[in-house]
Amino acid sequence: MFTLPFFKNNEPKNDADDNSQMIDLRGVDKYYQSAAGDYHALKNIDLGIRAGEFVSIIGKSGSGKSTLLNMIAGIDRPTTGEVWVNGTAVHKMDENQMAIWRGTNLGIIFQFFQLLPALNLLQNVILPMDLAGKYTKRERRQRAEHLLDLVGLSEHRHKLPSMISGGQQQRAAIARALANDPPILIADEPTGNLDSKTAETIFALFNDLVAQGKTVIIVTHDSGLAKRTHRTALIADGEIVNEYVAKALPTLTPAQLLVATHKIKAREYEAGAMILTEGRDNDKFYIVSKGTVEVVLPRPNQSDVVILQLGPGKYFGEIAFFHNSKTNASVRASESGPVEVLAIHYDQLNELLTESEVTREALSQAADRHQQENLERRGVQA
């Protein structure tokens, strides 16, 4: 286990922030000026990340993922919108305030490590503490040695970066990012230049840090790696795709997912409220985005039986779409709390599926399977 060192950061959180979010981007737009005109790099980004989450940001080159990361880190500023990080309005700070704040609140791990070549590993890890004026001189050295030991580089602490491998340099960069015990770690393609074995070691380090309360955000092009984080933010053409649409319909392309994100409409239901009623016409496909819904089969002269519970990212309404039938089960919000679902009209769903035969086939097979399961359950209940 990668155990966090001593000297915890106990700075209080600002009440101005939403207490449920460690990172909160609100309506962020970013324009860059060029000879060809303004380039809209980020478009109305809303993104919330809770403390202790491990989040990946994925997207094609030029999609805006690095710009998004720079917004969170305060390296770049939004043209419009707000960026709140650990209770601080990052978008309101000047450069001097930003440098001081960043030194204690963020640990940044760059794709190409960016260790200072003239300093040995120990000195590289001590440097952020020197700049922040944090801890005594003796504590800084003790902490740097401890961090290098934790990432398995104790015996290399007096070596220059050029004398160790790329994977070892990345681990040293992680030790440096942890120097001031920041609550948030941000990494830009942290495994992009590493072999698979070393990349796995780095990923394990991130998992251990998250388990101990750190919030970790990585930008990656590796969708397989992204799937192993708590959440994935897919960005396409400067916009964030709805994560629940991406989870429910993973075979759509990023561009198709963005179209779906624009078409869906959020609907909220109180605990126990009926969403679909058996035997009635339905014209929408639904994806659960918050809370839990219950799929219910009614029984004559008896109480209804809950046959299935669906959480965020699960869907319903596909059976009626593919079988041209009335709704053959009722769906309601769980009694445990309110529910939010994302609804898309069947005509719009059909347009999406026309562009993605693989998604149509996957949903069709799911509809057949669920229809058969419902028939079997009715037989059992009868």
Q: Give the residue from 187, 208, 240 where a domain finishes.
A: 240
* Domain span at 121: 23-240
Same domain, 55 and 155: yes
CA dist., res. 225 & res. 219, Å (int): 10
Let me know if residue 348 belongs to a domain. Answer: yes
125 with 230, same domain: the answer is: yes
The pLDDT tens digits of the residues spanning 246-273 come to 999 999 999 999 999 999 999 999 999 9
Please indicate, yes or no, whether residues 155 and 304 belong to a single structural domain of this protein. Answer: no
- Report pLDDT digits (tens) over 97-147: 988 898 889 999 887 788 999 999 999 999 999 998 889 999 999 999 999
**pLDDT confidence band for 292 (50 / 70 / 90):** very high
| 371 in a structural domain | yes
Is 89 in the same domain as 232? Answer: yes
- Chain center to CA of 285: 24
Count of the separate structural domains present in the chain: 2
Mark 295-323 as b/e (b = at least 16 C-beta within 10 Å). bbbeeeeeeeeebbebebbbbbbbbbbbe
Examine the domain organization and report whether 224 and 320 are in the same domain.
no
* pLDDT for residue 8 is more than 70: no
One domain for residues 75 and 127: yes
pLDDT of residue 189: 86
Beta strands in 100-141, from DSSP E residues, in sequence order:
106-109
| Residues 262, 183 share a domain | no
Does one domain contain both 219 and 262?
A: no
Helices (H) and strands (E) in the chain, counts: 12, 18
Is 11 contained in some domain?
A: no
0.85 surpassed by pTM: no
Same domain, 174 and 313: no
**Structural Rg of the chain based on CA atoms:** 25
CATH of the domain at 42: 3.40.50.300
